[in-house]
Amino acid sequence: MTGTATESRKHDAAPPPRPRDARGRPVWFWLGAGAALVVLGVAGIAFGAVPLALPDVLAALRGEGDASAVAIVRTLRLPRVMLAALVGAALGLSGGALQGALRNPLAEPWLLGVSGGAAVGAVGALALGVSAALVPLAAFAGAAAAVAVALAVAGAAGGRGDPRVLLMAGVVVGAFANAVIMIALATAPADTVRGALWWMMGSVADADWSQVRWVAATTLIGGGALIVLAREIDVLSLGEEPAAALGVAVDAAARRIYLLASLLAAATVTAAGLVGFVGLVVPHIARAAGLRGHRALLPASALTGAALVIAADLLARTVRAPIELPLGAVTALVGVPFFLARLRRLA
Amino acid sequence: MIRFEDVVARYPRADHPAVRGVSFAAPRGHITAVVGPNGSGKSTLVRALIGRLPLASGRVLVDGDDAAAMDGRSLARRVAVVTQREEPVFPLDVRDFVALGRFPHRGAWRAASADDARAVDRAVERSGIGDLVGRRTDELSGGEWQRVRIARALAQDAPALVLDEPTTFLDVAHEMGVFELLDALARAGHAVLLVSHQLNLVARFAATLVLLHEGTVAALGPPADVMRGPVLEPVYQWPLVVIRDAAVGAPALVPLRTRSRAGSGSGESDSQPGYVS
């Protein structure tokens, strides 16, 4: 067909090719995002109620120098920055995988019932007045229950791996969870309401090393599995029938990715509450940088998410110090300009 | 060779099966075309083949092996399918898109080998999309998009190729380009199974036509046997005549204007030479 088709190209109403600037850009993206992560990480450790100079930060990281600086860095700020980075990375991985597998640029970790379920668990625990240490556990249990219910609803509807059915099942479970939360809060004492609201707005203020270890382990396992499955996500993102034609067991693959992405999201919830917008916006930033296959897109989303949440946490605790702003609100404020820029490119 | 044996398939919650006992074979070295009105079960056969619709009874055999018993990737190494619809949500670079045709060979883990790269190069060359390789899938016209999808199927390196209405939305030149490519592939030994509404074109290119009507085979045979007014008219339920197109030496369907004009004796049918036997 070469001859015929080539001759006819002049009749072909192809949109004019865009300048191919994207080819060289991924390299700059990796360098830029890596540098941003390091700079923001150091800044996150240096800034705070007691500002530390760069040499002091570096010395304290090595366990040298002023003992109080070492204590601040090692027990407060380093775990906080690391937790922020891990939460951002996990949400970026989760969002990137879900957007691809569900073929939906609006998919994000919270769309699938995880947030609602986690919130019900946490608010329920707070309302029952259980020990604060058990709230994260209750949140995780709630998230897991919501995912199980959403999958069961999708299965009962006959959709199994159908992205639309999965999304709708998640939305239904989330709406139900919201209703439960509103009823619980309406009848709860003011302290509980305030605690629940704070939890729902997300924060890494209470970071400690055990949380860092737990989220790090989950992110490594869940995120690693998603990166291994990246090519399957590439194929799924073509659509149900093309994916099936290429030999992917569509329903099982979609469920697998949904579960892994939800596990990542649930892990962040137990450590930091509901940190919004990161999982939605971060994959779009990576795509805008010219990363399209998920083998590159997912690590890029992790890197960008980590940098974004560190930056947001830094702003949250310094802009109106000593008052801390809710992290989830700041991530949205920081992320919106990126999203708007992306929208402009799409339009 | 792809062989459908007494295939019955029903959509979930549907009252009647969408295909009811369809049997035919698409041998290597030929184009076999499935034609028929909308809703006659053509695409259902493709869905049944790729396992998106479980068979109620019957079998689909690929070179003698039951497709339903094969795992997805081994089936995809033997039959490449270009499905009817594909709406990409996120754009890919054209070469990366074509390279996804290697998924059945690579799976989720294995890195691309020299074989994979060669297969992609061959597919790009064969489908004539060399000039599109630097582009992104959201920068392609309808004709370019279809050729890129066919290239991805060719990259699968499967001996059988199934295409569900590959030339819908294509202009004459692109449509002929696709048919010429399929003809070349068949001559090279592929089994090509084509679902199409372009009766006049498939009559020129296909060795066998399978005419579906309400889920059953209404006619099966060489174009000259199937492309006859008394065969086609009751299936399409529209007045038509079949002429022999002198320019290409193949039967050609000409649909008439309306029932009333055709029945009045003064309509277009009078100006035509009538059925080709």
Q: Look at B100 and A17 and tell me if their CB atoms are within 8 Å.
A: no
CB A241 within 8 A of CB B83: yes
Among B239, B224, B232, B234, CA closest to B272: B239
Q: How confident is the model at residue A161 (pLDDT cuts 50, 70, 90)?
A: low
Determine whether the interchain pair A246/B178 forms a contact, defined as Cβ–Cβ distance below 8 Å.
no
- Asked if A6 reaches chain B (Cβ–Cβ under 8 Å), the answer is yes
pLDDT tier at A159 (50, 70, 90 boundaries)? low
β-strands B31-35, B2-9: how paired? unpaired
Measured in whole angstroms, the distance separating CA B113 from the mean position of its chain's CA atoms is 30
- Please, which pLDDT band fits residue A347 given cuts at 50, 70 and 90? low
Residue of A nearest to B13 (CA): A158
How many percent of chain A have pLDDT more than 90?
A: 35
Residue with the larger pLDDT of the pair B8 and A340: B8
Using the structure block, give the residue that is written with the tokens 């009559």: B203
Give B122 to chain A, closest Cα distance, Å. Answer: 13
Among the partner residues B74, B81, B131, nearest to A245 by beta-carbon distance: B81
Contacts of B153 (CB under 8 A, 6+ apart): B80, B81, B82, B101, B161, B163
- What the block records as the tokens of A207 is 């970071």
Closest CA to B150 of B104, B114, B208, B192: B192
pLDDT above 60 for B263: no
The reply to whether B14 touches chain A by the CB within 8 Å rule is no
The 10s digit of each residue's pLDDT in A307-342 is: 999 999 999 998 887 888 889 889 988 888 877 877
The residue ranking higher by pLDDT, B8 or A269, is B8
Mutation for testing the A interface, residue in B77, B103, B129, B139 having most A CBs under 10 Å: B103
Find the mean pLDDT for residues A195-219: 88
Helix (H) / strand (E) containing A4: helix A2-7
Q: Are A343 and A287 in contact (CB under 8 A)?
A: no
Contact B103 A1 (CB under 8 A): no
pLDDT higher than threshold 60 for residue A17: no
How many inter-chain contacts (A to B, CB under 8 Å) are there?
Answer: 134
- Residues of chain A neighbouring B144 (CB-CB closer than 8 A): 12, 14
B108–A231: do the CB atoms touch at under 8 Å? Answer: yes
**CA distances, A195 to each of A123, A129, A135, B31 (Å):** 9, 11, 11, 69
| CA B109, A258, A102, A246 torsion-angle sign | positive
B153, pLDDT greater than 90 = yes
Cβ–Cβ < 8 Å for B46, B195: yes
- B106–A12 C-beta distance less than 8 A: no
Q: In B, residues 147-176, which contact A (CB 8 Å cutoff)?
A: 147, 156, 171, 173-174, 176
Chain B residue numbers with beta carbons less than 8 Å from the beta carbon of A228 are 108-109
Contacts of B77 in chain A (CB under 8 A): 247
As a whole number, mean pLDDT of residues A246-268 equals 90
Average pLDDT of the residues in B105-113: 83
A135 or B196: whose pLDDT is higher? B196
Least confident interval from A253-267, B117-131, B246-260: B246-260
CA–CA distance, A72 with A140 (Å, rounded to integer): 29
Q: Does A8 touch chain B (CB under 8 A)?
A: yes
Cα B70 from Cα B60, distance rounded (Å):
11
- Residues of B numbered 72-91 whose beta carbons fall under 8 angstroms of chain A's beta carbons: which are they? 72-77, 80-91
Q: Which amino acid is residue B27, in one-letter code?
A: P
Chain B residues close to A245, C-beta within 8 Å: 50, 76, 80-83
Of B13, B77, B139, the CB nearest to A17: B139
Question: Cβ–Cβ of B89/A246 closer than 8 Å?
Answer: no
**Given an 8 Å threshold on Cβ–Cβ distance, is B174 in contact with A240?**
no
Residues of B in contact with A230 (CB under 8 A): 108
C-alpha to C-alpha distance for A292 and A22, rounded to whole angstroms = 11
How far apart are the C-alpha atoms of A89 and A308, rounded to whole Å? 9
Angle at B37 between CA B148 and CA B23, to 5 degrees: 85
Q: What are the residues whose beta carbons fall under 8 Å from the beta carbon of B189, sequence distance 6 or more?
A: B28, B29, B159
Mean pLDDT across the stretch B141-169? 93
User: Mean pLDDT of all residues in chain B?
Assistant: 89
Tokens of B94: 């054209």
Chain A contact present for B68, CB below 8 A: no
Cβ-contact B211, B218 below 8 angstroms: yes
pTM of the shown model: 0.87
Instruction: Determine the distance from the C-alpha atom of residue A340 to the mean position of all C-alpha atoms in its chain, rounded to a whole number.
Output: 19
Q: What's the pLDDT band for A16 if we cut at 50, 70, 90? A: very low
Taking CB atoms and an 8 Å limit, are B135 and A17 in contact across chains? yes
Residue A20: predicted pLDDT: 42
Is the backbone peptide bond immediately before A322 cis, with ω within 30 degrees of 0?
yes
Question: B76, A247: Cβ pair inside 8 Å?
Answer: yes
Asked if the model's pLDDT at residue A18 lies above 60, the reply is: no
Nearest to B76 among A7, A18, A245 (CB): A245
pLDDT interval class at A25 (50, 70, 90)? low
Question: Is the minimum CB–CB distance between B15 and chain A shorter than 8 Å?
Answer: no
CB < 8 Å to B85, chain A:
239, 241
Sheet hosting strand B19-26, strand order edge to edge: B19-26, B2-9, B55-62, B65-66
Average pLDDT over every residue of B173-194: 94
Contact call for residues A300 and A247 (beta carbons, < 8 A): no
- Asked whether the beta carbons of A265 and A305 are under 8 A apart, the reply is no
A55 touches chain B (CB under 8 A): no
Residue B32 pairs with which residues in a beta bridge?
B193, B208
Contact A230, A293 (CB under 8 A): yes
Give the pLDDT band of residue B268 (cuts 50, 70, 90).
Answer: very low
pLDDT at residue B47, as a whole number: 93
Q: What pLDDT sits at residue A255?
A: 86
Amino acid, res. B114: A
Q: How far apart are CA A73 and CA B114, in angstroms?
A: 50
B184 touches chain A (CB under 8 A): yes
pLDDT at B260 over 60: no
Whole-angstrom CA distances from A14 to A2, A19, A286, B4 are 17, 15, 26, 39
For A68, other C-beta atoms within 10 Å of its C-beta total 10
- Segment holding A290, helix H or strand E: none
Output the pLDDT for position B266: 43
* Closest-CA residue to A231 (of A297, A293, A299): A293
Give the Cα-Cα-Cα angle A237, A241, A243 (nearest 5 degrees).
45
